[in-house]
Amino acid sequence: MALLEVEDLHTYFKTRAGEVHAVDGVSFSLERGKTLGIVGESGCGKSVTALSIMGLVPPPGRVVSGRALFEGQDLLQRKSRELEDIRGREIAMIFQDPMTSLNPTLTIGMQITETLRRHLKLTRDEARKRAVELLEEVRIPNAAQRLRDYPHRYSGGMRQRVMIAIALSCNPKLLIADEPTTALDVTVQAGVLALLRELREEHDMAMIMITHDMGVVAETSDEVIVMYAGQVVEQAGTFELFDSPEHPYTEALLAALPQIEGEDVRHSRLASIPGRPPDLISPPPACRFADRCVYASLEDSCTRVLPELRELRPGHFVRTAHPASERAAAPVGS
Amino acid sequence: MSVQRGLGPASVTERRREFEAALGRTAEARSQEAGVALERASLWRDALYRFAANRAALVASLAFLVALGYAYITPWVDSADPYFVDFSEQYRPLSWAHPFGTDQFGRDLFVRNALGARVSIEIGFAATLAIMGVGILYGAISGFLGGWVDNVMMRFLDALYGLPYLPFAILTIVVLGGQATFWTMVVALTVASWFTTARVMRGQMITLKENDYVRAAQALGARWYRIVFWHLLPNTLGLIIVFVFLELPGVILGEAFLSFIGLGINPPKASLGSLAQDGYAAFQTHPYMIAIPSLAIGWLILSAFFIADGLRDALDPRTRG
């Protein structure tokens, strides 16, 4: 049995203009000890997917339907009190901006021990000892002393390490990392990613890595989901996805990666995808990428009917009428 | 090569060696410093410096301390009995024996004013703390929970807001039995004036709850009351401190007014308000009897107000006007 199985998740936000279908039928499963990357541009629903699993969708958002089976139990059916016991204990989450994710008025020690005492019912001294160990584990020098410091004395990278330490404090089975490195310097990013990978292995956790950075995915994930406009458009093993992307969106994303080596580095412009994602209030009954897709033309069925997510090769799912391997000719207009 | 004249190859290598040595030194120093805390320059110390730099606030604090000293030390030092009636000493003007004169019963007003100020200050602080407690609790819960709970709680508050302050306080005293004691005064003043604190707290909570650390705490399984009282309230501490001194003058004035109209502390005990009431009966012949307690009320209120102002500037330098 998979650790986490999400089935047909729909999360909508009520607004004055109508219901925004932020997550519209997302399914995936995650095995114990594996890492799943979720990539996509801003607003594609990757964070809302994670928040839905955690039961933390902010109002006016609401999980409309679907299931999220964690060890066979549907998280979406749990009472909020039960979810509070699961959060931090079984499933932990770290957020994008480490500068604001720590409370400025509490010492680092207080914030680490809070979770330990809440879930593991440790005494003050036990929690303190464990907190020192945790800080050492995320390589904060002089851990015992730095426990007494307030967050403003920590750098961004160190704060993210502290967030990781807090998330790992109760040995969760699943860690959801929502853009954990986006707000950090590139050099610090590398360190945090390496640390995350290492700790994931040590603690034998499963991890969901949410990011818009293909490089981060390549470095951390076993499997990747590409999301677009609230839906999964492609799912494959990491190597498979990078070697032979099938969805035109994935191809475009990979093409948009800046190149720093190769023949035509100096001459090529940074690639971008023309157009904008569709309005999610009343999404068209068509492939949501159709408007921006270079392969779709008006006569195609995909401008009228939403393509199913189909298994093109074992373990490689794609939602498009024009997967790369089935394309005979060059794209329209190129 | 000829370009490098004056900096021969030897000197270049030398400089380079020096540079590298310097780098090595700083790297070493840095690794030693890493993790070692710098000298602690805390928010509170900064605030203290800023407060001390504000002359008005400093003078006001001094004035407030003088008032406290007068109220609390005088009864110990002065041998005059505040309750001793001596009709041969009626209406004595200011003198060395009676610095503030005597009243219609020949009681020494210097000691009586001190006791009165003590009562006023104590009721003032007790009521202010009660107002803070009620207002913070109500506002924090309303603001944090939001939604319909917030709506109901705030509409209730609006309804209370519509009631005029003093009649409301008077009504409370009457409901509590009509006998004004220390605690009924505190309750009455609290009931009549906790709304503003609640509103301000609610506003603070609404802003603060959007912070990422609230989301992070939720993601780690913290319950709502934990988030409100452990994560959010400390963030409003500065505001609360300012509010104590902003609320204090109003409460002291309210107490004085209630006492003045006869709903205050029972004689022979006195507060500044009831002393002013005694003086009012004879203000044409013995004006000092009303002037002194009134000035004392003004003294307390003004110094509390300037302290509040200084605290606000000190704790939140951005709002300095």
| pLDDT tens, residue by residue, A210-258 | 988 888 888 888 999 999 888 898 999 999 888 888 888 888 888 877 7
Q: Are A111 and B217 in contact (CB under 8 A)?
A: no
Q: Which among A56, A118, A149 has CB closest to B218?
A: A56
Q: Which neighbouring-strand residues pair with A10? A: A24, A65
Confidence of residue B2 (pLDDT cuts 50, 70, 90): very low
Which has the closest alpha carbon to A10: A24, A27, A30? A24
Q: Which neighbouring-strand residues pair with A234? A: A226, A318
pLDDT at residue number A333: 46
Structural domains of chain A ordered from first start: 32-45+80-228 (3.40.50.300), 236-259+269-326 (no CATH)
pLDDT at residue number B37: 47
- Alpha-carbon radius of gyration of chain A: 21
Residues of chain A contacting residue B231, judged by C-beta atoms under 8 Å apart: 103, 105-106
Residues of chain B contacting residue A166, judged by C-beta atoms under 8 Å apart: 220
Q: Worst-scoring range by mean pLDDT, A143-157, A287-301, B136-150, B151-165?
A: A287-301
Distance from CA of B305 to the nearest CA of A (A): 27
Q: In the predicted model, what is the mean pLDDT of residues A118-145? A: 86
B178 vs B152, more confident: B152
pLDDT at residue number A210: 92
* B135: pLDDT strictly greater than 90: yes
* B1: pLDDT strictly greater than 60: no
Number of neighbouring beta carbons within 10 Å of residue B37 = 12
pLDDT at residue number B287: 85
The ipTM, to two decimals, is 0.78
Question: Do residue A145 and residue B235 have CB atoms under 8 angstroms apart?
Answer: no
Q: How far is CA B213 from CA A44, A61, A123, B219, B222, in A?
A: 24, 20, 24, 9, 11
* B202: pLDDT strictly greater than 90: yes
**Phi, psi dihedrals of residue A23, rounded to the nearest 5°:** -125, 125
CA A225-A97-A152 angle, 5° bins: 155
Confidence of residue B65 (pLDDT cuts 50, 70, 90): very high
Question: Do residue A114 and residue B222 have CB atoms under 8 angstroms apart?
Answer: yes
pLDDT at residue number A262: 65
Confidence of residue A267 (pLDDT cuts 50, 70, 90): low
Identity of the residue numbered A116: L
Q: What is the architecture, at CATH level 2, of domain B43-319?
A: Orthogonal Bundle (1.10)
Q: Worst-scoring range by mean pLDDT, A6-10, A118-122, A286-290, B36-40?
A: B36-40
Number of neighbouring beta carbons within 10 Å of residue B127 = 27
Q: Given CB atoms, is B41 within the 8 Å cutoff of chain A?
A: no
Residues of chain B contacting residue A142, judged by C-beta atoms under 8 Å apart: 34-36
Which has the closest alpha carbon to B197: B268, B123, B139? B139
Cα atoms found within 13 Å of the Cα of residue B277, Cβ hemisphere only: 21
Question: Do residue A115 and residue B237 have CB atoms under 8 angstroms apart?
Answer: no
Question: Do residue B230 and residue A97 have CB atoms under 8 angstroms apart?
Answer: no
Which has the closest alpha carbon to B197: B130, B131, B151? B131
B203 vs A278, more confident: B203
pLDDT at residue number A43: 82
Q: What is the DSSP letter of B201?
A: H
User: Which position has the token pair 């939604």?
Assistant: B147
Query: Of all residues in chain A, what percent are helix, strand and coil, respectively (each to 5)?
Result: 35, 25, 40
Contacts 24+ apart (CB under 8 A), B48-57: B48/B314, B50/B313, B50/B314, B50/B317, B51/B310, B51/B311, B51/B313, B51/B314, B54/B310, B54/B313, B54/B314, B56/B306, B56/B309, B56/B310, B57/B306, B57/B307, B57/B309, B57/B310, B57/B311, B57/B313, B57/B314
Please give the share of chain B, as a percent, with pLDDT higher than 70: 87
B/e letters for A172-205, b = 16+ CB within 10 Å, e = fewer, are: bbbbbbbbbbebbeeebbebbbebbeebbeeeeb
Confidence of residue A200 (pLDDT cuts 50, 70, 90): confident
B52 vs B268, more confident: B52
Tokens of B119: 């009562």
Q: CA–CA separation, A52 vs A37, rounded Å? A: 17
Q: In the predicted model, what is the mean pLDDT of residues B51-78? A: 89
pLDDT at residue number B321: 46
Q: Given CB atoms, is B37 within the 8 Å cutoff of chain A?
A: yes
Please give the share of chain A, as a percent, with pLDDT higher than 70: 95
B271 vs A272, more confident: B271
B15 vs A322, more confident: A322
Q: Worst-scoring range by mean pLDDT, A65-69, A134-138, A149-153, A282-286?
A: A282-286
Q: pLDDT of B159-169, one tens digit each?
A: 988 888 878 88
Contact partners, residue A63, CB within 8 Å, separation at least 6: A9, A10, A11, A52, A57, A76
Question: Do residue A54 and residue B219 have CB atoms under 8 angstroms apart?
Answer: yes
pLDDT at residue number B8: 52
Confidence of residue B58 (pLDDT cuts 50, 70, 90): very high
pLDDT at residue number A304: 81
pLDDT at residue number B3: 47
Q: Worst-scoring range by mean pLDDT, A34-43, A88-97, A311-320, B10-19?
A: B10-19
Q: Which of B31, B209, B220 to mutate to test the interface with A (most CBs of A within 10 A)?
A: B220
Q: How far is CA A287 from CA A301, A310, A318, A322, in A?
A: 9, 13, 12, 11
Confidence of residue A263 (pLDDT cuts 50, 70, 90): low
Q: Worst-scoring range by mean pLDDT, A186-190, A205-209, B72-76, B92-96?
A: B92-96
Q: In the predicted model, what is the mean pLDDT of residues B204-233? A: 87
Q: Which among B146, B212, B220 has CB closest to A92?
A: B220
